[in-house]
């Protein structure tokens, strides 16, 4: 959930001063766009993978601090809960064998973490929502020790008036309960895909990413169970949205697909300034051009597609789109295949002379997203120009060709394209992603969440993509 801060206790004047600096930095960013001060760049890809730490009973184990001290790896960092880790990938120019380079690095980091975890009688799992997690695991006793997390919990409670969160997820079954703190978010682990884009076309990429959010979450769904209840295929979507809830309208939601398409990526940063109260008013001494306050505030608005401002080693700014709808897992291969599909399809859509957002009204794109999260690979969606049909038909006949085209235009090797998109094609052919496999296992073996998790881990460790798993 982002960068560390120095203190979790704030005074009223901290909020006022932070808001002033945020406004100044937003104006500076607007100036950079107007004057063309963010240089053109090639497309670069990267990722963040959130993982679970498990004990021998396949239950969450809160040892990330000990494991991180042993690893001493800058690519592996803490997450909100002490039973989670975040594994990062080195940015790769999207050409040649970039996808395999991303996969190879993730496989090496994953193996290194698993090997180190054995010292603590622990193993790693990549799965959207861990089937064995229970609400009693999701308390501040298991919160990582970073100041940022404590401050977020306090400030989110303040914005909702100090009351408990009222959770209500209606899926195949219905789960309603109350919870007191931000730790529910730690149950929602994801594979976040990053794409560096040019500033002047960033709005087009952002809109295309929103359109693709529905088929992406449908293809990759891997979170059908929470506390033993069978809910959405990607239950992580409503769980995260409700876990950070501070209001009842789309204008106040901090985890959101948004309220529309954008004319410019600047629209998001203006909305951050105008619509979202400051949560972490940490005052920093960096030069204004580092946009430190703008970037910190942006990290407290969890859009499913989030624009990011970064700086390279030479202090040159750039824009990235962070696509956040994909759950963790089931395997390294599945994860990179999901990234490949997204990179190719989003680059193709964003490059059309007639924008796809002009051919799909935003309310329909938004409805698609929640329909896809609920029903996964078996969802029916509406596509451009009022075309409608199943996710499988849409992906086979429209999006896979687009993804091939987009990856080819980036300069990805033909063999790479066929291999990684072949994983997606296999998933479509037998209609099996992580959520489908989990539900099939339970249908056959019963409501044994520990048994489900053990079977999942055996398949995960085999390295075979999920469409090849049996039950």
In a 3-state reduction of DSSP, which class is residue 5?
A: coil
The per-residue pLDDT for 15 is 96
Q: How many domains in the chain? A: 1
- How many Å apart are CA 159 and CA 161, to the nearest integer? 5
**Is residue 409 one of the residues assigned to a domain?**
yes
Token pair 């940015």 is at which residue?
A: 91
**Is residue 60 one of the residues assigned to a domain?**
yes
- How many Å apart are CA 333 and CA 97, to the nearest integer? 14
**Is residue 149 one of the residues assigned to a domain?**
yes
**What's the Cα-to-Cα distance from 258 to each of 26, 190, 197, 276, 358, rounded to whole Å?**
19, 19, 20, 13, 17
Name the residue range of residue 29's domain: 12-465
**Is residue 265 one of the residues assigned to a domain?**
yes
**Is residue 92 one of the residues assigned to a domain?**
yes
The per-residue pLDDT for 1 is 42
**Is residue 391 one of the residues assigned to a domain?**
yes
In the chain the first and final C-alpha atoms are separated, in Å, by 35
The per-residue pLDDT for 7 is 62
pTM: 0.96
The per-residue pLDDT for 314 is 87
Q: What are the residues facing 229 on neighbouring strands? A: 226
**Is residue 2 one of the residues assigned to a domain?**
no
**CATH code of residue 16:** 3.30.590.20
Three-class secondary structure assignment of 119-132:
HHCCEEECCCCCCC
**Is residue 129 one of the residues assigned to a domain?**
yes
Pairing of strands 123-125, 92-93: unpaired
Segments of the chain with pLDDT less than 50: 1
The per-residue pLDDT for 210 is 98
Strands annotated E in 344-471? 380-382, 388-390
- How many Å apart are CA 225 and CA 228, to the nearest integer? 6
Alpha helices in 97-223 (DSSP H): 98-117, 147-159, 202-220
The per-residue pLDDT for 97 is 98
The per-residue pLDDT for 224 is 98
Q: Residue 443 CB: number of other CB atoms within 10 A?
A: 10
The per-residue pLDDT for 2 is 55
């Amino acid at each position: 959930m982002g960068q560390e801060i120095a203190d979790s206790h704030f005074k009223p004047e901290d909020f006022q001063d932070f808001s002033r600096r945020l406004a100044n930095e937003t104006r500076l960013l607007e100036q950079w766009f107007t004057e063309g001060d963010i240089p053109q760049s090639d497309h670069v890809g990267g990722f963040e993978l959130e993982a679970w730490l498990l004990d021998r009973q396949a239950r969450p184990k809160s040892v990330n601090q000990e494991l991180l001290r042993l690893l001493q790896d800058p690519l592996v960092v803490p997450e909100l809960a002490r039973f989670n880790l975040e594994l990062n990938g080195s940015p790769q120019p999207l050409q040649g064998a970039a996808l395999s380079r991303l996969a190879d690095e993730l496989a090496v980091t994953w193996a290194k973490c698993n090997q180190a975890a054995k010292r603590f009688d622990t193993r790693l799992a990549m799965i959207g929502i861990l089937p064995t997690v229970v609400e009693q695991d999701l308390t501040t006793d298991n919160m990582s020790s970073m100041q940022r997390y404590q401050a977020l919990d306090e400030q989110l409670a303040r914005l909702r008036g100090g009351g408990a969160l009222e959770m209500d997820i209606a899926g195949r079954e219905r789960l309603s309960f109350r919870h007191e703190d931000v730790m529910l978010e730690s149950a929602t682990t994801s594979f976040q895909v990053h794409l560096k884009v040019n500033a002047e076309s960033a709005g087009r990429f952002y809109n295309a990413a929103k359109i693709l959010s529905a088929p992406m979450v449908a293809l990759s769904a891997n979170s059908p169970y929470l506390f033993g209840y069978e809910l959405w295929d990607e239950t992580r979507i409503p769980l995260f949205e409700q876990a950070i809830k501070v209001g009842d309208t789309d204008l106040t939601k901090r985890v959101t697909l948004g309220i529309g398409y954008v004319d410019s990526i600047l629209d998001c940063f203006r909305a951050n300034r105008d619509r979202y109260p400051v949560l972490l008013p940490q005052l920093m001494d960096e030069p204004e051009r580092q946009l430190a306050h703008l970037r910190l505030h942006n990290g407290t608005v969890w859009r499913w597609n989030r624009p990011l401002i970064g700086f390279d080693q030479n202090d040159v700014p750039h824009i990235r789109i962070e696509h956040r709808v994909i759950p963790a897992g089931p395997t390294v291969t599945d994860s990179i295949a999901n990234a490949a599909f997204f990179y190719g399809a989003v680059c193709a859509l964003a490059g059309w002379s007639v924008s796809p957002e002009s051919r799909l009204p935003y309310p329909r794109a938004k409805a698609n997203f929640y329909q896809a999260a609920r029903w996964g690979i078996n969802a029916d969606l509406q596509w451009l120009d009022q075309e409608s049909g199943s996710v499988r038909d849409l992906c086979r006949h429209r999006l896979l060709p687009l993804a091939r085209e987009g990856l080819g235009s980036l300069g990805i090797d033909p063999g790479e394209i066929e291999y990684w998109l072949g994983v997606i094609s296999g998933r479509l052919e037998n209609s099996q992603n992580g959520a489908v496999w989990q539900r099939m296992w339970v249908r056959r073996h019963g409501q044994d969440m520990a048994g489900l998790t053990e079977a999942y881990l055996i398949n995960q460790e085999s390295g075979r993509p999920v469409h090849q798993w049996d039950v």
